[in-house]
């Protein structure tokens, strides 16, 4: 199920970036008058399976501490950071946003990857387990337990409905634990 050298855009890791991008759009607060965007690079220190789950969790952790700074546009239309010193001076143009603020996440996506094999479901497979099995299912729920995304790679055209429902139920049971772990890990990351 992992991408090969010949086809790097196929498999779990190759499809993860586009799914993460769409989920980031889901969690980002668009209350600014002007559009903003942030690019996040995720590097795997140990690519031993369930890469999408790890990448999504790290993206949520990073965005939960994203600070939107005060910026203005220069004469060429480029974004210029407004420093605290220049806030007191007369700016050429009005700042795009009036004050620094943290990005507010109303809800956050959490995922689990499962392997379906015969009548068995294996959660959080290793890279070796992913490579030997046929059907991989990734379930993404928001922090309220609502289904955000369901991705099935490989295997038969249709997986058994009961197996997919079991994967969703497994994610619902794990959701509270993931939220608690994320809150605990990010509480030490508070920035001024």
pLDDT tens, position by position, 57-91 = 888 888 887 777 777 777 777 777 777 665 545 55
* C-alpha span between 94 and 82 (Å, rounded): 10
- What pTM, to 2 d.p., does this model score? 0.71
* C-alpha span between 175 and 130 (Å, rounded): 22
Count of C-beta atoms within a 10 Å radius of residue 141: 23
DSSP 63-104: HTT-EEPPEEE-TTS-EEE--HHHHHSPPSS--SSSS-EEPP
Confidence of residue 176 (pLDDT cuts 50, 70, 90): very high
Cα torsion angle, 106, 109, 62, 38, sign: negative
Q: Which residues contact 85 (CB under 8 A, 6 or more apart)?
A: none
Q: Which residues contact 153 (CB under 8 A, 6 or more apart)?
A: 1, 11, 12, 15, 135, 136, 137, 138
pLDDT score, position 35: 57
Around 76, how many Cα atoms within 13 Å sit in the side-chain half-sphere?
Answer: 3
Where do the domains of the chain lie? 12-66+103-187, 68-102
pLDDT score, position 59: 87
Task: Report, as an integer, the average pLDDT of 21-45.
Answer: 60
pLDDT over 80 at 152, yes or no? yes
Tell me which architecture the domain covering 12-66+103-187 has in CATH: 2-Layer Sandwich (3.30)
């Amino acid at each position: 199920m992992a991408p090969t050298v010949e086809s790097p855009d196929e498999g779990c890791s190759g499809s993860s970036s586009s799914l993460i991008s769409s989920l980031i759009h889901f969690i980002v607060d668009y209350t600014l008058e002007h559009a903003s965007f942030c690019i996040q690079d995720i590097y795997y220190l140990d690519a031993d399976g369930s890469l999408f789950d790890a990448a999504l969790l790290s993206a949520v952790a990073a965005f939960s501490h994203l600070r939107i700074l005060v910026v203005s546009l220069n004469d060429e239309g480029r974004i210029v950071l407004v420093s605290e010193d220049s806030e007191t001076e007369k700016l050429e143009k009005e700042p795009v946003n009036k004050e620094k603020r943290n990005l507010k996440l109303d809800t956050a996506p959490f995922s689990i990857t499962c392997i379906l094999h015969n009548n068995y479901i294996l959660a959080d497979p290793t890279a070796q387990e992913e490579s030997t099995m046929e059907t991989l299912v990734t379930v993404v729920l928001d922090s309220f337990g609502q289904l955000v995304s369901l991705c099935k790679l490989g295997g038969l055209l249709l997986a058994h409905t009961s197996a997919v429902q079991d994967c969703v139920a497994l994610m619902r049971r794990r959701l509270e634990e993931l939220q608690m772990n994320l809150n605990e890990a990010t509480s030490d990351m508070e920035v001024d």
